A and B are shown apart, each in its own frame.
Chain A
Amino acid sequence: MQNPSQQMIQIRWHGRGGQGAITAAKVVAEATFKSGYGGVVMAPTFGTERRGAPVSTSLKVSREKIYDLSPIQFPDIVVVLDYLILNEVDVTVGLKPGGLLILNSPRSVSDHPFPDFRVAVANVTKLGIEAGLRKGIVNSGIIGALGKASGLVDIEVLSQCIANEFVGRKPAENARAAELVYAATEVSEPSRGGSHA
């Protein structure tokens, strides 16, 4: 048997309390499960966080059942719902060289130099408003960036899972936000080499 971590894709989500990082991770968990991954574990990290404080969530995805529920130490992918968190939290801690860093940022990808990682950037906040959402709803949109940059799950499946999750809370607009972000996401390769996640 191979080292389980080599067969597993580990995604760490960073957001602010109330921003919906857990919901976003839950939607992607559902979508990967529907796409045939038998091992999916989405584990929120619970503490005494309040609205606005930095929070994180783990999502592990594997073809096989996952037995280890311990928190992610060495993620393959890090998703950041608000780029300003970069000033407060070292979001790349443990991120494998060549791993993928996904940012919601109004700046371009070249403004976020991380030489060891693939970096994907989209202005999720702006695209969410374009999709008809209230300002600050980014947890549906960021899923589009993850879909585009990781290729883990088809955008159609992600859209459908978003619509299911947001029943009664603008499902079509939330799905559309993810689709707009999917189309707009820019990706840069690591400048120092290293393999893809």
Chain B
Amino acid sequence: MSEKLIDSGNNAAAMAVQLAAAEVIAAYPITPQTPLTEKLSELIAAGEMDAEYVAVESEHSALGVCIGAASAGVRAFTATSSNGLLYMSEQLHWAAGARLPMVMCVVNRGIGAPWSVWNDHQDAMSQRDAGWIQLFAKDHQEIVDITLKAFRLAELVHIPVMVNYDGYYLSHTYMPFELPDAAVVKEFLPAYEYAHALDPQKPESLNTVTLPDSRNDINGVKQPGYMDIRHNLHQEMRLAMDVLEEIDADYQQRFGRGGTPIIDPYCCEDADYIVVAMGTLANQFRDVVDRLRQEDGLKVGVLALQIYRPFPTAKIAEALQSAKGVMVYEKGLSYGNQGALYADLKSALYPYPARPQLHNFIVGLGGRDIRTEDLCQTLKSACLQDDLSSPEQTDTPQWIGLQL
């Protein structure tokens, strides 16, 4: 039986991992992720979850354990935040290059220095090129649903998946959600079987120094060189988007929720101006959209990006073809350039005929309050600013909520 309950986002994630029957959990505590891993260790200690909890001394080791577990054909899970994710960085690239399926929740938090425990997206954005699939949840229900889908996706496409959700806004906030029926989850997510699982009867050398060129192995079979392996990762990561849609369709059929695994548009059909955002920020904009439509008669909509890597280039560009203006609001940036999401989106639009006017806003870094009032005002003035100022000016990110 599915169950409706009210609990924190971290507990929602833990319950989803329990439902997914992860077999190895290795994690190092870091705010705001800590309650998630505490909950998992409690579930295991209480015998409510049949998994091995490996206490490690660092995030680097946590992901190392998951790499080992996944190599042995075991369903592995870890979670972290902020600097913990950065400490994993080397292992992130390794897990992806070795094509090991696993799921990690990243409870998004600003990066030090200076220390901040509060939310922004810089941690995940900074690891966008590691070869992981990066999904973003907007509420507790999505944390549960996306985590379950993530395990199946990772195991089908053999690429590790990061499930991102906002620190505090979701991790420590209580809100209602539905936990799916365990028996149906079992049908949706069968046990993980890995064809190349480590086998003492079949010794192999894995990911040793791999030559630039392809070569024949001892059986005369052509083996890929480094570049072939990396090209294949890229191609199959692009293809993973199709697989995510298929998985989502199956999930929707079984559990009644889904339909927007890639982009989640709200009031975009007739919109002249479309906001693009990720995570809880995109949901906050739903109220902004309602208000500007009602009070100012502005045809605005918001497009939530549910997946950042692979970047849904065509889907997002097509969704913006009839917009006059596109406003990208984001909680992170590529220092010295502009918002990373903004730059990606701009590049996605380039080959398409319609070139809406673009605006970039940086908000909420290190947990700076994102006032709905400020979102309303900045969005409204961007909509009304019809005449393009200098290209350089329009292409420069505007910071919202600065106090100095």
Interface residue ranges, A against B (CB under 8 Å):
1, 3-4, 26, 29-30, 33, 38-44, 46, 66-71, 73
Q: Is A40's CB under 8 angstroms from B172's CB?
A: no
Cβ of A115 to closest chain B Cβ, rounded Å: 27
Chain A: CB-nearest residue to B31: A46
Known: A3-B291, A43-B168, A43-B169. A70 touches B175 (CB 8 A): no
Known: A3-B291, A40-B6, A67-B283. A26 touches B174 (CB 8 A): yes
Please tell me which one of the listed residues A1, A40, A69, A70 contacts residue B176 in the complex, with CB atoms under 8 A apart: A40
Contacts of A41 in B (CB 8 A): 173-175
Q: Is A1's CB under 8 angstroms from B172's CB?
A: no
Known: A4-B287, A40-B176, A42-B174. A70 touches B6 (CB 8 A): no
Q: Is B173's CB under 8 angstroms from A68's CB?
A: no
Interface size class of B (residues with CB under 8 A): 20 to 34
Q: Is A70's CB under 8 angstroms from B174's CB?
A: no
Known: A1-B294, A30-B6, A33-B6. A69 touches B173 (CB 8 A): yes
In the complex, besides A29-B174, A69-B283, 17 extra interface pairs with C-beta distance below 8 angstroms are A1-B290, A3-B291, A29-B6, A40-B174, A40-B175, A41-B173, A41-B175, A42-B174, A42-B175, A43-B168, A43-B174, A67-B284, A68-B286, A68-B287, A69-B284, A70-B371, A73-B371
A29 to B140, CA, bound (A): 15
Chain B: CB-nearest residue to A46: B168
Say whether B34 faces chain A, with CB atoms less than 8 Å apart.
no
A68 to B286, CA, bound (A): 8
A44 to B174, CA, bound (A): 9
A194 to B362, CA, bound (A): 39
Q: Is B290's CB under 8 angstroms from A4's CB?
A: yes
Contacts of B287 in A (CB 8 A): 4, 67-68
A146 to B113, CA, bound (A): 42
Q: Is B6's CB under 8 angstroms from A68's CB?
A: no
Q: Is A43's CB under 8 angstroms from B172's CB?
A: yes
Q: Is A70's CB under 8 angstroms from B370's CB?
A: yes
A-B contact pairs, 27 of them (CB 8 A): A1-B290, A4-B290, A30-B6, A39-B176, A40-B175, A42-B175, A43-B174, A44-B172, A44-B173, A46-B32, A46-B117, A46-B118, A46-B168, A66-B175, A67-B283, A67-B284, A68-B283, A68-B286, A69-B170, A69-B280, A69-B284, A70-B369, A70-B370, A70-B372, A71-B369, A73-B371, A73-B373
Residue among B32, B117, B176, B283 with the highest chain A CB neighbour number at 10 A: B176
B residues 340-369 in Cβ contact with A at 8 Å: 369
Cβ of A179 to closest chain B Cβ, rounded Å: 23
Please provide the 5 A-B residue pairs with the shortest distance between their CB atoms, ordered closest to farther: A42-B174, A67-B283, A43-B173, A67-B286, A33-B6
